[in-house]
Amino acid sequence: MDTQIIAIFCLCDDMLKALHHPEDKQCRMSDAEVMTTALVAALHFRGNFEAARQFLRTQGYIPQMLSKSRFNRRLHRLSELFLTLFQGLGEFWKALNAESRYLIDSFPLSACDPCRIARSRRYRGEVWRGYLASKRRYFYGLKVHLLVTAQGQPVEFFLTPGSYSDTRALRAYSFDLPEGAQVIGDRAYNDYQLEDALALAGLHLTPLRRRNTRRAVPPWEAYLRQLYRRAIETTGSLLERLLPKSIHTVTARGFELKSALFLVACSLNFLPW
């Protein structure tokens, strides 16, 4: 854990220096330390910022720790930098993915229990109610749409309301991938028009096919696609292991920031500490 905390700080500090990030010299706590505290909270304390603050202060990692309210204000100002860090890690994972095979899927991020939907303050409306077919239950909150390498390392993600289908979200992916890359999804990602458009750009979208498909594939190829999908299911399990039973935030923006932190933490877990 000691090596991991130091490595995270060095990674954040080097990124801020490379970006020529401006910082007030009078700050008691640097922006790299703020980012490190948030990522340590996501990795080891299930997103509990207060527990991470107390641990890093008492163990001497960050003696000049900010108060709870000042830390939260600084953290929200740095929210875009966590996306930059995730994108940098994604480029690193893409460079290591020699076989150029990628997988896509979505996972629910519940904002509250179904019995508390009427009292929810972070999100209101039926657009946030989604259905999880694998578990045959509804949830209320967001969906995270994830693109990973064949080894399970995340390279792209975005959030949508829970009611958005995977087919609708498919067109929101940037697909910033090397030419000739293969993207495998489940049966929800059958979009012939998009497949043809990506083929013109040198990418191959190859989802699992439905029984009534017009583009059937040989049984051995269908089996291989199903086999490759285990990588993203493993990533989903790693993400679920980091998530608490309920993500405690006050605002919708805070919920989305914490969700992004867990995804960055999931990507960091693939590094050889």
Q: Return mean pLDDT, the chain.
A: 92
Q: Report, as an integer, the average pLDDT of 31-35.
A: 96
The reported pLDDT for the residue numbered 172 is: 94
pLDDT for 79 beyond 80: yes
Domain containing 8 equals 2-77
What DSSP line would sit under the chain, residue for residue? -HHHHHHHHHHHHHHHHHTT----TT-SS-HHHHHHHHHHHHHHSTT-HHHHHHHHHHTTS-SSPPPHHHHHHHHHHTHHHHHHHHHHHHHHHHHH-TT-EEEEEEEEEEEE-GGGGGG-SS--SGGGEEEETTTTEEEEEEEEEEEEETT--EEEEEEEETT--HHHHHTT------TT-EEE--GGG--HHHHHHHHHTT-EE-PPPPTT-SS---HHHHHHHHHHTHHHHHHHHHHHHHS-SS---SSHHHHHHHHHHHHHHHHHTTS--
Give the pLDDT score at 113: 81
The sign of the torsion formed by the CA atoms of 80, 84, 89, 91 equals positive
| Co-location of 70 and 111 in the same domain | no
pLDDT value for 141: 93
One domain for residues 60 and 158 = no
pTM: predicted TM-score of the whole model, two decimal places: 0.93
How far apart (Å, rounded) are the C-alpha atoms in residues 153 and 235? Answer: 7
Domain identity same for 121 and 155: yes
With a cut of 80, say whether residue 146 has pLDDT above it: yes
Structure confidence at residue 71 as a pLDDT band (50, 70, 90): very high
Q: Distance (Å, rounded) from C-alpha 41 to C-alpha 36?
A: 9
Residues 49 and 164 in one domain: no
With cut-offs at 50, 70 and 90, classify the pLDDT of residue 43.
very high
* Cβ atoms of 49 and 37 closer than 8 Å: yes
Distance CA 271, CA 255 (A): 26
In the chain, the percentage of residues whose pLDDT exceeds 70 is 100
Residues above pLDDT 90, as percent of the chain:
72
Whether residue 91 lies inside any domain: the answer is no
- pLDDT computed for residue 33 by the predictor: 96
Based on the fold, state whether residues 9 and 73 are members of the same structural domain. Answer: yes
Instruction: Confirm whether 253 is domain-assigned.
Output: yes
Residue 143 lies in a domain: yes
The pLDDT value recorded for residue 97 is 93
What does the pLDDT look like over 179-233, one tens digit per residue? Answer: 999 999 988 899 999 999 999 999 999 998 888 888 888 887 888 888 888 888 8
